[in-house]
Amino acid sequence: MIPGSNAPLTAENPELRRVLVGFGWTVTPSRGPQSELVPMAIMCGSDGRALSDEHLVFFNQLSSPEGGMEFAGTQDVEQIDVDLDRVPEAVRKIAFIVYVDPDVRGPGNFGAVKNSYIRLADEKTRELLRFDIPGGNQSQIKAMMFGELYRHGVGWKFRAVGQGYQNGLAGVATDYGLSL
């Protein structure tokens, strides 16, 4: 996939009920502080903002209120599982973001992050699609939207994004109406 492209999920996989969203990357070793990356998923309403502060999943909030999303272990660096049947009807899209955790190893950025990707698989771990985040100078980026899972008619599609945030988690919170 390339940034901005869309791919049908349920139209091509009508039996799809669970989507395993895997994240991966490598961090170039350095003698200084290393960036600690954290994936998160935000359930958004029709206005593009989070339904509530509880409708997000990350390492400190392992599942959504209805159980439609869970933070899980995986063969990728990190994984979030989405049970499509349990995602509330009010959710129009789920944004998948990776941010640099400033509380773990101090301020950091995506400058040393290479080979980052997001991939979607079915519950048998058969890969459905993969988006490799384009490289480049990312030394000012502190958070990045990797992609979105969104409703399209009665089904679901995925959009590859790869958009960086220089203002990190604060920018994400502002854009999605979260109080983090």
- CATH number of the structural domain spanning residue 147: 2.60.60.30
Residue at 40: amino acid letter: M
Structural domain harbouring 43: 6-176
Could you tell me the end-to-end alpha-carbon distance of the chain, in angstroms, rounded to an integer? 31
Instruction: Give the count of domains, the chain.
Output: 1
Residue 53 included in any domain: yes
Specify which residues 130 forms β-bridges with.
119
> Which 3 state secondary structure label does DSSP give 109?
coil
Rg of the chain's alpha carbons, rounded to an integer?
15
% helix, strand, coil for the chain, step of 5: 10, 45, 45
Residue 1 included in any domain: no
pTM of the model: 0.91
Sign of CA dihedral 131, 133, 134, 135: negative
Residue 11 included in any domain: yes
Residue 154 included in any domain: yes
CA distance 160 to 75: 21
Residue 148 included in any domain: yes
Q: pLDDT category, 161, cuts 50, 70, 90?
A: very high
Of residues 67 and 151, more confidence is placed in: 151
Average pLDDT of span 90-117: 84
The answer to whether 6 touches 149, Cβ cutoff 8 Å, is no
Q: pLDDT category, 40, cuts 50, 70, 90?
A: very high
